Amino acid sequence: MCLVFIDPMIIRSLNKSKLRKKILYLLYKIYPNGIYLSEISRRVRSDPSNVLGCLKGLNGRYNGNFSLIELGLVECVEVGGMKLYKLTDYGKKIVDILMDQDSDFIDTLRW
């Protein structure tokens, strides 16, 4: 069995935002592939600015310290001048651990 440290800030961040969780579980579903911001927005049914706030943080509304990228769960990679967002290996390990706890939440997601 492999032990993985889960930073309490990660749990707090995910508990404060259902959209962050939706994005994280979407990226988990397509792991190890990346996805464009517009496609994430379409699949989680949210405005691109809100999705970007969850991923990177935005002034005021989304604290950058709690963003999925800042927490090390998601990374942004440039391919041909376009930005793709994908789950990090650490992010995948965290979702693997949280899947059992969030089974009710996961059941409500419709891709």
Determine, yes or no, domain membership for 53.
Answer: yes
Q: How many domains is the chain partitioned into structurally?
A: 1
What long-range pairs does 55-60 form, CB within 8 A, spacing at least 24? 55/23, 55/85
Determine, yes or no, domain membership for 6.
Answer: no
Identify the CATH number of the domain in which residue 89 sits. 1.10.10.10
* 35-58 pLDDT tens trace: 999 999 999 999 999 999 999 988
Determine, yes or no, domain membership for 65.
Answer: yes
Determine, yes or no, domain membership for 109.
Answer: no
Determine, yes or no, domain membership for 82.
Answer: yes
Determine, yes or no, domain membership for 4.
Answer: no
Residues of the chain with pLDDT under 70: 1-3, 60-61, 102-103, 106, 110-111
DSSP-derived secondary structure letter, 31: T
Determine, yes or no, domain membership for 5.
Answer: no
Range of the domain at 44: 12-101
